[in-house]
């Protein structure tokens, strides 16, 4: 059966030439969970597995679908304390698979997307350990000196939040499927109160448990999905994960779905503990974390609206629940508005 986004014969030939560990023919399957770039598992005749990343099968937006950039980032971070998959090969010749792609090693582990799977796979002490590692890895990422790992030119260092506001406002205007007035209101509030940027760090852009592989041993095995990574304000990453880090007895936050964020399973450090340990590890002042949380809700609403637009256009390789995406965008916009009231 033909798999959208995969040119079987061309890829078998490319793997034979460029990935010495592989023995084609390969069997490809779509790895679910991503809503932007497409991720496939490739298994060879010996049962060895590899991962192939490529852009959506239609129109793409700016650096979010730059395969060479993603490949460069995980290659640069490989020698650091930040766990990433091993980059094995990059193909920028679109004639091979209709778009550039890169290949990395297959990392075994669980993707903790909700409270149910988290409670099923790990006991409370293990969840506590996972939480501590999530804090430490974010701290380690933000302590990496970009130029020391060859990423000094990954992006502009200064004015990260103003640049992000401009970027996602532009994307919102280009991809929105309907008018949501609160998005404009929050934008004006964010633009008028930008905090001073304390440092220029490597910012993941989508740092959360759902973008990590957690091994059965309770250790974080790899951080995934670097498509939004750039240089900028480290507090943006902290604000983002705080929106995905609800406490066990907390009411269901926006975006948590029917089963809640992974941390709702209990046993994880609290939000306050996370912020305090991050500050201790990095020396950064997170007293304006509510601004960053509001910004990240607003930004994520713009991102999800772009995903919704791509599903409507049929370029994501599978059918999406457009009504659910619309509801998510509405909820994120409202959450951004509510967090602005806390600043």
Give pLDDT, residue 343: 86
Mean pLDDT in residue range 160-185: 95
Give pLDDT, residue 62: 43
**DSSP letter for each residue of 148-202:** GGT-TTSS--S-HHHHHHHHHHHHHHHH-SS--HHHHHHHHHHHHTPPPP---EE
* Cβ-Cβ contacts under 8 Å for 58 (sequence gap 6 or more): 310, 313, 314, 315
CB environment 155-173: b (16+ within 10 A), e (fewer): bebeebbeebbebbbebbe
* Cβ-Cβ contacts under 8 Å for 175 (sequence gap 6 or more): 61, 302, 305, 306, 308, 309
Give pLDDT, residue 338: 94
Residue 321 pLDDT > 60, yes or no? yes
User: For 201-230, how does the pLDDT look when each residue is reduced to its tens digit (9 = 90+)?
Assistant: 999 999 999 999 999 999 999 999 999 899
- State the pLDDT confidence band at 77, using cuts at 50, 70 and 90: very high
Q: d(Cα 83, Cα 21) in Å, to the nearest integer? A: 21
- State the pLDDT confidence band at 57, using cuts at 50, 70 and 90: confident
Query: Are 74 and 222 spatial neighbours (Cβ–Cβ below 8 Å)?
Result: no
- State the pLDDT confidence band at 128, using cuts at 50, 70 and 90: very high
Mean pLDDT in residue range 313-336: 83
User: CA–CA distance from 273 to each of 159, 264, 278, 280 (Å)?
Assistant: 28, 15, 8, 10
Q: d(Cα 103, Cα 327) in Å, to the nearest integer? A: 34
Residue 61 pLDDT > 80, yes or no? no
Give pLDDT, residue 307: 86
Give pLDDT, residue 257: 62
Q: Which two tokens stand for residue 214?
A: 């957690």
Give pLDDT, residue 78: 98
Least confident range from 148-157, 161-170, 188-197, 323-332: namely 323-332
Residue 143, classified by CB atoms within 10 Å of its CB into exposed (0-12), middle (13-18) or buried (19+), is middle
Q: d(Cα 102, Cα 100) in Å, to the nearest integer? A: 7
Residue 56 pLDDT > 90, yes or no? no
Residue 258 pLDDT > 60, yes or no? no
Other beta carbons within 10 angstroms of residue 10's beta carbon come to: 15
Residue 237 gets which letter from DSSP?
Answer: H
**DSSP letter for each residue of 105-163:** E----B---SHHHHHHH--HHHHHHHHHHHHHHHHHHHHS-GGGGT-TTSS--S-HHHH
Give pLDDT, residue 46: 97
Mean pLDDT in residue range 175-191: 95
* Helix, strand, or coil (residue 11): helix
Q: Which CATH number fits domain 8-105: 3.40.1360.10, 3.40.50.2300, 3.90.1720.10, 3.30.200.20?
A: 3.30.200.20
Q: Is 199 left (phi over 0), alpha (psi -120 to 50) or beta?
A: beta
- State the pLDDT confidence band at 322, using cuts at 50, 70 and 90: confident
Residue 63 pLDDT > 50, yes or no? no
Locate the domains of the chain by residue range: 8-105, 115-340
Mean pLDDT in residue range 86-97: 97
Query: Are 4 and 317 spatial neighbours (Cβ–Cβ below 8 Å)?
Result: yes
Q: What is the mean pLDDT of the chain?
A: 92
| % pLDDT > 70, the chain | 92
Give pLDDT, residue 35: 55
Mean pLDDT in residue range 116-142: 98
Q: Which two tokens stand for residue 199?
A: 């440092």
Give pLDDT, residue 334: 95
CATH of domain 115-340: 3.90.1200.10
Give pLDDT, residue 33: 45
């Amino acid at each position: 059966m033909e798999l959208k986004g995969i040119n079987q014969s061309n890829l078998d030939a490319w793997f034979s030439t460029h990935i010495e560990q592989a023995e084609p023919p390969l069997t490809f399957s779509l790895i679910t969970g991503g809503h932007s770039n497409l991720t496939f598992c490739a298994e060879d005749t010996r049962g060895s597995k590899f991962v192939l990343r490529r852009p959506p099968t239609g129109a793409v937006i700016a650096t979010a679908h730059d395969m060479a950039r993603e490949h460069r980032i995980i290659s640069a971070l490989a020698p650091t304390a930040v766990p990433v998959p091993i980059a094995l090969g990059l193909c920028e010749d679109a004639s091979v698979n209709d778009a550039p792609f890169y290949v990395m090693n297959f990392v075994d582990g669980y993707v903790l997307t909700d409270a149910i799977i988290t409670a099923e796979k790990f006991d409370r002490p293990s969840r506590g350990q996972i939480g501590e590692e999530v804090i430490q890895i974010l701290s380690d990422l933000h302590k990496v000196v970009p130029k020391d790992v060859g990423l000094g030119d990954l992006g502009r260092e200064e004015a990260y939040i103003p640049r992000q506001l401009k970027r996602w406002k532009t994307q919102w205007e280009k991809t929105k499927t309907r008018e949501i007035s609160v998005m404009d209101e929050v934008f004006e509030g964010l633009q008028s109160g930008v905090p001073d940027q304390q440092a220029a760090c490597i910012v993941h852009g989508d740092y959360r448990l759902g973008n990590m592989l957690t091994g059965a041993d309770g250790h974080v095995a790899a951080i995934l999905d670097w498509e939004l990574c750039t240089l900028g304000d480290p507090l943006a990453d902290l604000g983002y994960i705080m929106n995905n880090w609800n406490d066990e007895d907390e009411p269901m936050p926006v975006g948590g779905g029917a089963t809640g964020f992974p941390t709702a399973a209990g046993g994880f450090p609290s939000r306050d503990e996370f912020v305090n340990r991050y500050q201790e590890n990095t020396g950064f002042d997170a007293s304006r974390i509510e601004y960053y949380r509001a910004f990240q809700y607003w930004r994520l609403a713009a991102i999800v609206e772009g995903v919704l637009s791509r599903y409507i256009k049929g370029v994501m390789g599978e059918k999406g629940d457009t009504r659910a995406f619309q509801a998510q965008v509405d909820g994120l916009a409202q959450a951004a508005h509510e967090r602005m009231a806390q600043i």
